[in-house]
């Protein structure tokens, strides 16, 4: 894999580690509520769902890191594809900005992994 592909894939993995931390540990804290525009009550009511969502983001990050560590394009492309689908679904059902924060970086990384 090219250096560009590695860097972009690692960036997507780091983003998902960040999402995991925000959703699992900071959802009800001021930082998490600010990032996700949540009231204190809504954050408390949805904390278990957010922690579950965060765990899935952690799995995506782990898969990307695994693919990078073993240098396997197919593994990286699989997990990047999962991120793209999750980002498109999130943009369609939750908030359009998810397209830019999650799906587009994964599309760029997948293109680099596939073509470079």
58-89 residue pLDDT tens: 999 999 999 999 999 999 999 999 999 999 99
Predicted TM-score (pTM) of this structure = 0.95
Domain count, the chain: 1
| Cβ-based neighbours of 100, under 8 Å, separated by 6 or more | none
Read off φ and ψ for residue 74, nearest 5 degrees. -65, -40
Question: In the numeric block, which tokens belong to residue 74?
Answer: 């197919």
What is the distance between the alpha carbons of residues 88 and 43, in angstroms, rounded to a whole number?
Answer: 23
What DSSP string describes 3-48? HHHHHHHHHHHHHHHHHHHHHHHSTTSHHHHHHTT--HHHHHHHHH
Can you give the pLDDT at residue 77?
A: 98
Predicted local distance difference test score (pLDDT) of residue 4: 98
Which domain covers residue 34, as residue numbers? 3-115
């Amino acid at each position: 894999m090219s250096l560009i592909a590695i860097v972009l894939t690692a960036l997507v993995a780091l983003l998902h580690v960040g999402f995991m931390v925000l959703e699992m540990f900071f959802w009800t804290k001021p930082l998490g509520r600010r990032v996700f525009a949540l009231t204190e009550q809504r954050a408390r009511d949805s904390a278990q769902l957010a922690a579950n969502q965060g765990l899935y983001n952690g799995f995506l990050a782990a898969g990307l890191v695994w693919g990078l560590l073993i240098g396997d394009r197919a593994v990286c492309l699989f997990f990047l594809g999962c991120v793209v689908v999750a980002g498109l679904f999130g943009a369609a059902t939750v908030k359009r900005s998810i397209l830019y924060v999650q799906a587009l970086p994964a599309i760029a990384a997948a293109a680099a992994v596939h073509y470079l």
